């Protein structure tokens, strides 16, 4: 699961990194050459649509969607189980609803052959297809989560359901941040040790050549 989150976050970051490069290029061209690419704002809208669908899935995998949990831990376990199941089920229904609405829009675009009202006149089936693909991933992931929560509920495994679908509290977020910090520190230490070892091994070679 962590690997999927990492890959999704890399794609999300790559989209907006590319967009930022295009914005800088557009600004420099306008400033020094009085030339415009005539479509960076259009690409920005497409990037926002694609990035938003990726962020939906990324937040779902990391249990980062906001839930009002101020009273959650004070409820009896049976109510916690019910609310956790409702959260997963309603998210699945919401994901499927978004997918259905997006599919209707794409089908209408295909019927009319719609294009963007911009200088590029981009056929909307291409950016909307990416948008639909992102929402499909989100709807599929949410549906899997909803089905798993339902299966755990009706199989009487309420403790496991609460463990997997309870809202992420402050203590859990702090623990994850500390673990990530520790991993970054270990990775940084490994790189520094490798650089130091490479420098020490190269030292006699440099001295012998002088």
In the block, residue with structure tokens 């209707």: 104
pLDDT value at residue 209:
45
Neighbouring C-beta atoms of residue 153, cutoff 10 Å: 19
161 CB burial (10 A radius; 0-12, 13-18, 19+): buried
72: Cβ–Cβ under 8 A, 6 or more apart, which residues?
80, 83, 166, 167
Residue stretches of the chain with pLDDT short of 70: 1-2, 4-5, 169-177, 179-181, 188-210
Closest CA to 150 of 76, 90, 68, 192: 90
Neighbouring C-beta atoms of residue 67, cutoff 10 Å: 14
pTM metric for this prediction: 0.73
pLDDT value at residue 97:
97
pLDDT value at residue 66:
79
pLDDT value at residue 194:
52
| Helix residue spans in the chain (DSSP H) | 2-33, 40-61, 77-112, 125-154, 158-165, 170-209
d(CA 161, CA 165): 6
70: Cβ–Cβ under 8 A, 6 or more apart, which residues?
none
């Amino acid at each position: 699961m962590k690997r999927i989150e990492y890959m999704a976050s890399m794609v999300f970051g790559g989209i907006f990194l590319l967009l930022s490069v295009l914005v800088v290029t557009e600004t420099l061209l306008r400033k020094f050459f009085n030339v415009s690419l005539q479509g960076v704002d259009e690409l920005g809208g497409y990037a926002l649509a694609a990035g938003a669908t990726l962020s939906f899935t990324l937040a779902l995998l990391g249990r980062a969607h906001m839930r009002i949990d101020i009273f959650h831990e004070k409820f009896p376990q049976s109510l916690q189980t019910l609310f956790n199941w409702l959260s997963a089920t309603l998210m699945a229904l919401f994901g499927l609803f978004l997918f259905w609405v997006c599919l209707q829009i794409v089908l209408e675009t295909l019927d009319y052959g719609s294009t963007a009202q911009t200088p590029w006149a981009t056929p909307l089936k291409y950016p909307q297809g990416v948008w639909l693909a992102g929402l499909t991933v989100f709807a599929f992931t949410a549906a899997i989560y909803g089905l798993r929560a339902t299966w755990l509920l009706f199989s009487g495994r309420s403790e496991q359901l609460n463990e997997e679908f309870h809202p992420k509290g402050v203590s859990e977020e702090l623990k994850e941040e500390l673990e990530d910090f520790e991993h970054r520190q270990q990775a940084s230490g490994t790189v520094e040790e490798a650089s130091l070892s490479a420098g020490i091994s190269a030292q006699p070679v440099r001295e012998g050549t002088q």
